[in-house]
């Protein structure tokens, strides 16, 4: 009875040892993530690629949309990044992106969509506020504010003082002229 129990335990331990690498490999597949920026691109466009969760020292990204396979450089242990170009003559469609980490293939880890370049150029239908570069909106706001307000109290006081000085000067000059004429 005791030998049967020992045999059963040994078989269980052997099963755990056999299944553990398979579970680890499945987990490694699940941890790999690909980020494409942009995920929608025109033929001939540039794409930045980032891969995380890749165990090992090398990572390569492949897709039928890319001009060539992309060898990624490592930023940190499991973080890889690089850049590629989409083929100029590629058909407009969605393409799978696969990753190879140290020889281990991770198929269909992402997708890139190749679309037609927009050719619809809209023309303005209203006058364009132009001529000020990046500060045009500030000039318009300032002009609107100044046009909407009249002179303030300081302007009125200065105007009254100047008018008073002018009136005194005219009166003084007129009185001197009368004196010289009467003499």
Structure confidence at residue 128 (pLDDT): 63
Helix (H) or strand (E) holding 10: helix 2-31
Q: Which of 109 and 133 is assigned the larger pLDDT?
A: 109
User: pTM (2 decimals)?
Assistant: 0.49
Tokens 């281990």 locate to 104
Longest dimension (CA), the chain: 154
Tokens 């300081």 locate to 154
Beta bridge partners of 37: 48
- pLDDT at 95 exceeding the cut of 90: yes
Residue 11, both tokens = 């078989």
pLDDT bracket for residue 125 (50, 70, 90)? low
Handedness of CA 161, 163, 168, 172 (dihedral sign): positive
Tokens 């890749």 locate to 54
- Concatenate the DSSP letters of all residues of 122-180 into one string: ---SS----SSGGGHHHHHHHHHHHHH----HHHHHHHHHHHHHHHHHHHHHHHHHHHH
pLDDT bracket for residue 6 (50, 70, 90)? very low
Pairing of strands 59-62, 46-52: unpaired
- pLDDT at 142 exceeding the cut of 90: no
Structure confidence at residue 28 (pLDDT): 42
Nearest to 52 by CA among 61, 43, 41, 39: 61
Q: Which of 147 and 179 is assigned the larger pLDDT?
A: 179
Cβ atoms within 10 Å of 65's Cβ, excluding its own: 24
Structure confidence at residue 149 (pLDDT): 65
- pLDDT at 174 exceeding the cut of 60: yes
Structure confidence at residue 173 (pLDDT): 87
- pLDDT at 70 exceeding the cut of 60: yes
Structure confidence at residue 113 (pLDDT): 93
- pLDDT at 62 exceeding the cut of 70: yes
pLDDT bracket for residue 132 (50, 70, 90)? low
Helix (H) or strand (E) holding 32: none
For range 151-160, the mean pLDDT: 87
Supply the Cα-derived Rg of the chain in whole angstroms.
41
């Amino acid at each position: 009875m005791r030998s049967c129990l020992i045999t059963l335990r040994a078989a269980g331990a052997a099963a755990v040892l056999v299944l553990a690498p398979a579970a680890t490999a499945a987990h490694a597949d699940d941890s790999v993530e690909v980020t494409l920026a942009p995920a929608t691109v025109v033929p001939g466009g540039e794409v930045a690629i980032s891969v995380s969760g890749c165990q090992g020292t090398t990572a390569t990204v492949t897709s039928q949309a890319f001009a060539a396979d992309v060898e990624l450089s490592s930023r940190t242990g499991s973080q890889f990044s690089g850049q590629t170009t989409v083929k100029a003559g590629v058909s407009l469609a969605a393409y799978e992106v696969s990753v190879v980490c140290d020889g281990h293939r991770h198929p269909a880890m992402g997708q890139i969509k190749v679309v037609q370049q927009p050719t619809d150029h809209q023309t303005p239908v209203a006058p364009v506020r132009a001529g000020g570069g990046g500060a045009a909106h500030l000039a318009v706001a300032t002009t609107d504010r100044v046009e909407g307000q009249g002179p303030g109290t300081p302007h009125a006081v200065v105007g009254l003082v100047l008018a008073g000085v002018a009136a005194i000067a005219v009166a003084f000059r007129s009185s001197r002229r009368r004196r010289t004429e009467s003499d």
